[in-house]
Structure 1
């Protein structure tokens, strides 16, 4: 499993479902067709992308788009962001305000179910009932190779101020920081 295959599976599932809102089942089905070790590697890549996108300015964008965003909500937002594909994902890390131009960026932009897709596919393929502890124990035995981590991180270009603290009550600063999103979502 590599980053290209990871994104290909995301894109294929979204395409089969005609959009991210219905892509969970095609995603689980695509993952279920992989070998168990490949499913675990897909999850490791997904987890790495989730970790690499845990950035303040992106959280401010999620807050602006959704009219608020809790800690869990930010996890679900980043699941939605991943479901949009590699280009949207990487562009958002480089410029979170670019999300104002994403057609799928409307309504509640959160995709909680994607967080458990690999777990469900893995357990289904092994014929096991839902057991997150078993899945996460198996993940511990399938870490990503250093080369895979390096290949993923080398493609990311963050916005210069991606880690800057923000205050949702500072409307002027939010408009300066995320002008397109603030305009698009009547902030």
Structure 2
């Protein structure tokens, strides 16, 4: 599966429903119609795509969208959520996190509506494994298959040092539009 195939599946899930759990189940169903090798390729593309969001500026954005707090896990699941916003939004946001404000989901969060879901999509990280298990009958078989091929994918964020001291809070300060949209979460 190439990168376009990966994004086609994500966009198909997005078109299918707004509910993130239903999207994940749809992805599992679609992947379970493929070979184990194709499911592995989906997982590899997922890690490849995610890498662009594993930056300190994105962590700063995640902190703002999460009421001023963002652990490793929260940031990891935030990355998956941004992927779920679609290819165009994702590619723009990884180049400039301030463009997240163009996404309706982020505007909904900024408005503080009671129906706004937290900006995370943890289950996306397990869809390939669930599909692999359906196809092969092997519990956690995807991880064993990757290990057998010497593939060790990241399981938590590890942004590269970009020269700005202070981590996520300092990076959030460099996102004035997001700070304005999420004033209660803006760093002091």
Matched, 1:104 2:114: no
- 1:183 aligned onto 2:180: yes
1:124 aligns with 2:134: yes
CA distance in 1, matches of 2:133, 2:72: 27
For the 8 Å contact 1:40–1:142, the answer to whether it is kept is no
Q: Deviations over 1:47-95 (max 9, x none)?
A: 1222332100100000001111100111100010111111111111110
How far residue 164 of structure 1 moved from its aligned partner, in angstroms, is: 3.4
Distance 1:103 1:162 in 2: 29
Give the Cα–Cα distance (whole angstroms) in 2 for the partners of residues 58 and 162 of structure 1.
12
- Which 5+ residue runs of structure 2 have no aligned equivalent? 110-115, 152-160
Instruction: Normalising by structure 2, report the TM-score.
Output: 0.78
User: 1:135 corresponds to which residue?
Assistant: 142
Correspondence list, 1:20-169, <5 A: 20=20, 22-67=22-67, 68-105=69-106, 106=109, 107=116, 108-128=118-138, 131-132=139-140, 134-140=141-147, 164-167=164-167
SS at match of 1:88: helix
Contact 1:76 1:111 in 2 (8 A): yes
Q: Which residue of structure 2 aligns with residue 158 of structure 1?
A: none
The alignment covers a number of residue pairs equal to: 165
TM-score (norm 1): 0.78
Structure 1's unaligned 5+ residue stretches are 145-160
Distance 2:32 2:128 in 1: 8
Give secondary structure in 2 for the equivalent of 1:104: helix
Q: Distance in 2 between matches of 1:97 and 1:9?
A: 26
Distance 1:75 1:163 in 2: 22
Query: What is the CA–CA distance in structure 1 between the aligned matches of 2:94 and 2:22, rounded to whole Å?
Result: 25
User: Contact conserved, 1:6 with 1:42, CA < 8 A, in 2?
Assistant: yes
1:143 and 1:16 map into 2 onto residues whose CA distance is: 35
Point out the more displaced range, 112-121 or 135-144.
135-144
| Counterparts of 2:84 and 2:8, CA distance in 1 | 11
Question: How far is 1:111 from its partner?
Answer: 0.5
Deviation at 1:140, TM superposition (A): 3.9
